[in-house]
Structures are given as C-alpha cells and as structure tokens.
Structure 1
Amino acid sequence: MKLRIAIIIICIVLMLMVTSVIDSFNHNETDIPEKVDVIIMLGGGDKGRMEKAAELYHEGYADYVIITPESKDIYPQSTEFAVELGIPEDAIIKEYEATSTYTNAVESFKIMDEYSFDSALVVTSDYHLKRSKLIYDRVSDGQYDLKYIAALSEDGEKWNERSYSDRIWFSEFYKLWGYWLGLYNFIDEPDTE
C-alpha cells in the first residue's frame, strides 16, 4: 500500500515537472493591441521594447508612454531614445524607482492612479511576457484593463532564435518559478511609505 502511494506521488511530481518544462518554452502569447489610456514600456532588454512602444504610440493606441524605469545611463530605456523614435517628451511619463518586474508593476500602478488611467498596454520582450503578465495581473488584482504586447529584439528575432536562447530560457524559467511562489515579496519589496 505504501509503495503504491509513493509511486503515485512520484508520478504526479514527474508529470508536474515535465508540464512545467514544456510550458516554460511558451513565453510570447501577445495580445491584440487596443486603444488604452497609456503604454507601459518595461525597462530591460534591448531597443526592441522601446521601438515597439513607439510603434504602438504612433499607431494611436495611447496618448502617453510610461518608461519604467527611465534611465539616462541605459539608452534603450531613456527619454532621449523615446524622443528619437518620435514620442514627444510631453507624452512620456518617467518612473525612476523600479528595480524588478514586480516593482515595475507597483510603480506603474501608482502612476496610473495618479493620472486616473484605467487601461494600459504593457510592452516587454517576448521572453519576458509571461512573467510580466503574471506579476502585473497579480499586483493589479483586476483593477485595470491590461493587454500584454511582446516586443521582438532590435534585430527582429524571437527569443528562441537568438544564439543565447538557452540562457534566456533558463533565466526566465527559474525567475518565473520564483514569481509563482511569491518570492518577489522577499527579494525586492518596495518601500511602503
């Protein structure tokens, strides 16, 4: 009897592990963009994220773009690059505090509340989309209408076409597990003041 229970538990654990690994290769289920109050461009990655945010801005999906975090030192997430791509400086809302995907969400929602925004397109790299959606949905708790838009690399490559795709996969795999387990609360919790 105990052997049978042990075998069943081992089979369940193995099935969960296999399912988890298979699911980890599917990162880029992008939504169809629609008119919203603001576009949120998550910092990190290469120029592809800002290029996608600018494309959506020029197609009229929103009148404002939040850069989270904005950085003069990191060109792909700088106001300078956004302006170069044709986004007017008065349409850019700069956020300086975020240090992770979790704090991107927290800080973005503070800005959305400040501006009375109810909807947003969240733009990030294709490999980062699943984790961004997980945490933005969890932090927003249904308060905002959010759509998630995948950005390809600045060269137009999908994450799995890059020469270092194995490193991208592994990094997102363990970070996604950390986010599923709520470890972002211990790793990078923003000040509550």
Structure 2
Amino acid sequence: MKKNTLIVLGSPNSPEGVLSDISRSRLNYCASLYTKGSFVLCTGGWGDHFNTSSKPHAEYSKAYLIKNGIPKDAFLDFALSSNTVDDAVKIKPVVEKLDNVHLTIITSEYHLERVKLIFNEILNPFELEFVGVKSNLSKDVYNKLVAHEKKAVKSILDNGLYY
C-alpha cells in the first residue's frame, strides 16, 4: 500500500504571519484528510505577492496544522518556494527520498488547472492526486484570480514550462 503524502501549496499571509482565508481553507482540508501514518509537506517561503513576514509561509502552515491535530513527526522538510513552479521543483528532492508514496496536492479550485500542468511535468512519474479546495472569496477577488490563472496557463501552453 502506498503511503499518502499531503502537500499543501503556499498562499498568502499577512506581514505579521496571519494566514489568509485561502491558506486556512487549504490547511483545513489537509487536516480533514490526514490519517495516522501520512506525511505532510508544507510549501511557501517568501515573496512580495504572498509573504513579506520574517518567517517562511510554510512555518505558519505547519503551526496551524499542529494546532489542528497533526502530530509534529508527520511533517517532512519544507519546500521554501516562491511560486507554483518553484513549489514543484523544491518538493521533488524531498519526496524522492521516500519509497512507495502517493502525493495529494492541495491547492485552491481556481489554481488547479495550472498546478496540474506544472506538477504532472515536474513530478512525473510520481502517483499524483489533485484537490482544488473552494475558497471563501468575494466575487471580484475570485474573478481576478481566475483571470490571472487563465493568463498563466496560456503562457505555459504557448511557451512551455521553465524551471
């Protein structure tokens, strides 16, 4: 039986380290999927678009998940990434050390198509499952994120993936 590894992609937090609704929705979903013996990998370092605090985003995510019942020994090394391509690139060396794993990639529903494009290339031949968690966003914010994702996906399809 394959060992499940839950990978939570980074998302915004405040300069003080307060997790955004997007972050909490992904982390809550991770906590709901966690079973004893699973691994958890948190991504996210720093970036002007999601984290300008003194600590990496992944550290805030891990603390939140521990508060929500996931044991400290379930966590793998962080992938201190700055964007989605960097997520996949930095996850790869961590999961390559594991035997017989199934990777469950947890992101937001508006981000799912791009994540699949990137991760299916970079993390091939791992067994991957993708989850797009619904976010509690205003219609305006959601529509802006969807527009950004459409542009990003088009760029990958037109130009390929650079990493």
TM-score (norm. length: structure 2): 0.76
Deviations 1:36-77 (A, max 9, x none): 4211111113311111111110xx386111001267454895
| Residue of structure 1 in register with 2:147 after alignment | 170
Q: CA deviation at 1:180?
A: 2.0
| Residue of structure 1 in register with 2:117 after alignment | 134
Quote the Cα distance in structure 1 between the aligned partners of 2:141 and 2:114. 19
Q: Whose radius of gyration is greater, 1 or 2?
A: 1
Tell me if structure 2 keeps the 8 A contact 1:68–1:94. no
Distance 1:68 1:74, change over 3 A: closer
Give the total of aligned pairs: 144
| Residue of structure 2 in register with 1:151 after alignment | 133
Code of the aligned partner of 1:114 = K
Code of the aligned partner of 2:42 = I
Tell me if structure 1 keeps the 8 A contact 2:43–2:57. no
Tell me if structure 1 keeps the 8 A contact 2:112–2:132. yes
Q: State yes or no: 1:100 paired with 2:77.
A: no
Tell me if structure 1 keeps the 8 A contact 2:10–2:43. yes
User: Gapped runs of 5+ residues in structure 2?
Assistant: 12-21, 47-54
Deviations 1:108-151 (A, max 9, x none): 1211111225311110011111110111001123x111010111
Q: State yes or no: 1:123 paired with 2:90.
A: no
Code of the aligned partner of 2:43 = T
Q: CA deviation at 1:93?
A: 1.6
Distance 1:37 1:83, change over 3 A: same
| Residue of structure 2 in register with 1:86 after alignment | 69
Quote the Cα distance in structure 2 between the aligned partners of 1:88 and 1:149. 22
Secondary structure of 2:86's aligned partner: helix
User: Gapped runs of 5+ residues in structure 1?
Assistant: 1-34
Quote the Cα distance in structure 2 between the aligned partners of 1:69 and 1:133. 18
Quote the Cα distance in structure 2 between the aligned partners of 1:133 and 1:62. 25
| Residue of structure 1 in register with 2:16 after alignment | none
Q: CA deviation at 1:92?
A: 1.3
- Give the alignment's Cα RMSD to 1 decimal: 2.5
What pairs up with 1:60-79 in 2 under 5 angstroms? 60=35, 63-69=38-44, 72=55, 74=57, 77-79=60-62
Quote the Cα distance in structure 2 between the aligned partners of 1:68 and 1:117. 21
TM-score (norm. length: structure 1): 0.65
Code of the aligned partner of 1:112 = V
Q: State yes or no: 1:46 paired with 2:23.
A: yes
Secondary structure of 2:90's aligned partner: helix
Distance 1:114 1:73, change over 3 A: closer
